[in-house]
Amino acid sequence: MTWTPISKAYVFSTLLGDPVPVGVIVKDEGIFSFAYAKSWLANPIAYALDPLHIPLDTQTFQSNRLFGVLADSLPDNWGQRVILATHKQAPANEIEWLLSARGRGVGALAFSASRSKVQPSNTPPKLSDLDRVLTAMDDIQASRPVDDPELIHLIEYGSSFGGARPKTIIQHEDTEWLAKLSRHDDTFDQIGAEAASLAMAKQLGLDVPNFQVHMSGKRPVLLVSRFDRESGQPSAHYLSGQSALATRKIQESDFAKDYSYQGLATVIRKLSSQPKQDLTELFTRMAFNVAIGNTDDHLKNHGFLFKPDQGWSLAPAFDLLPHPNQIAQHAIGIGVNGRSSTISNLLSRSSAFGLSDQQANRIVDQVLSIADEAHHYFGQYGVPETDNRVLSGICQRFSEDDAGTGPSP
């Protein structure tokens, strides 16, 4: 008997309480088609999943790739490893991957093979389950299958989250937290480094989620509160920066144009209900990423939230930490010199963020002042002194006279 992969999924929103049908996604001969449900279009509180590329409309949208806002719900490297370790049969296509995750990914979308109902999601593990979850995640890192049904139930919930690093979702203090783990091949203390970077960003006034470091035995785990949940329930719809810019093939010239922080600024102007605030926030984040050497700042590490009572806004910052092996170039464009990690490049297009030269220089001065204290922050979060010297050296690599160089001609 020939097995035919599933080629259709119904899309639901869980933002307004119980799952509500939004539309349907179909894959046919390599082409993806999406159409909003008539009932959704008639709903007075309906919102576009992606106003820039699939606005609320009766037409059927088509693409040779899964629409970005739906792809944001796909499990990434780590999530795929979890699903492959806990399922007997691997998903055959993007539609099956969307259907395979039994938890809830970022945002408020759910997917079902049924047009009328969504399978209940698993409940997230509690903090008291963390030791057992870590054991299962160690098995996955070692490419060992996980056969215990209870463990499978515990680790499946976080399988829809992106990224290559091991992570899961934990219920703690009446909210959901993303629990981030170290890896056996880490070359420095990434948990302590990320916690310290979040602390510096918070001190700077950047919008970052609540976080805490929890010790599981002698093993540190970084807990970062979900910014798309309130009391465990979906509170926001999510659109990644990559999906908002609908990136395809990237050429080097794109890093000085769309595939950049300036590209994200353009999205803010089109979507945000608070553009001035979000533009200043984005510029400050860019300056902070340059200062601490966070060069893994690709477009999936930026996003936008939609809340029914507030509209669209820039999502809080996440995945902030130095990357010692690559500090010269960022993942996306910084200024007129593309991805180059310099203060002059950082300042070269401050006007794209609605800032004067004086305002931009003031922000950079504030960022560098915090970065100069990096050794204290890394030490506060237990980063070993050998790692601390390297990481704080990166954060302090810009001399004082670099800060006021002003925009490049």
Neighbours of 381 (CB within 10 A): 20
Whether 179 shows a pLDDT value over 60: the answer reads yes
CA pair distance 391, 331, nearest whole angstrom: 19
CA pair distance 284, 324, nearest whole angstrom: 21
| Residue 102 vs residues 49, 78, 121: alpha-carbon distances, Å | 21, 15, 5
Q: How confident is the model at residue 182 (pLDDT cuts 50, 70, 90)?
A: confident
The per-residue pLDDT for 159 is 67
CA pair distance 227, 204, nearest whole angstrom: 19
Domains, the chain, with CATH or none = 1-172 (no CATH), 230-402 (1.10.1070.20)
**260-308 pLDDT, tens digit each:** 999 999 999 999 999 999 999 999 999 999 999 999 999 999 999 999 9
Whether 313 shows a pLDDT value over 60: the answer reads yes
Q: How confident is the model at residue 379 (pLDDT cuts 50, 70, 90)?
A: very high
Instruction: Identify which of 373, 361, 374 has the alpha carbon closest to the alpha carbon of residue 401.
Output: 361
The per-residue pLDDT for 403 is 45
The per-residue pLDDT for 7 is 94
| Best-predicted range by mean pLDDT (155-159, 190-194, 255-259) | 190-194
> Which amino acid would we find at residue 61?
F
Mean pLDDT (the chain, rounded): 90
With b for 16 or more beta-carbon neighbours within 10 A and e for fewer, the 315-331 pattern comes to bbbbbbbbbbeebeebb
Which residues in 47-88 belong to E strands, given as ranges?
61-63
Whether 216 shows a pLDDT value over 70: the answer reads yes
The per-residue pLDDT for 16 is 84
In the chain, the percentage of residues whose pLDDT exceeds 90 is 69
Q: Tokens 């890896």, residue?
A: 183
Whether 241 shows a pLDDT value over 80: the answer reads yes
Whether 176 shows a pLDDT value over 90: the answer reads yes
The per-residue pLDDT for 254 is 55
pTM of the model: 0.93
φ and ψ of 314, to 5 deg? -65, 135
The per-residue pLDDT for 75 is 84
C-alpha angle with apex 227: 181 to 174, nearest 5 degrees?
Answer: 80
C-alpha angle with apex 38: 37 to 42, nearest 5 degrees?
Answer: 120
**19-33 pLDDT, tens digit each:** 999 999 999 999 999
C-alpha angle with apex 228: 223 to 231, nearest 5 degrees?
Answer: 75
The per-residue pLDDT for 249 is 52
Whether 123 shows a pLDDT value over 90: the answer reads no
> Which amino acid would we find at residue 277?
Q
DSSP structure string for 145-190: ----HHHHHHHHTTTT--SSS-EEEEEETTEEEEEE---TT-SS-H
φ and ψ of 27, to 5 deg? -115, 125
The per-residue pLDDT for 212 is 97
**57-116 pLDDT, tens digit each:** 999 999 999 999 999 998 877 778 788 777 778 888 999 999 986 657 899 999 999 999
| Residue 193 vs residues 77, 115, 225, 324: alpha-carbon distances, Å | 22, 45, 17, 11
Q: How confident is the model at residue 256 (pLDDT cuts 50, 70, 90)?
A: low
The per-residue pLDDT for 3 is 67
Q: How confident is the model at residue 399 (pLDDT cuts 50, 70, 90)?
A: low
Beta bridge partners of 215: 220
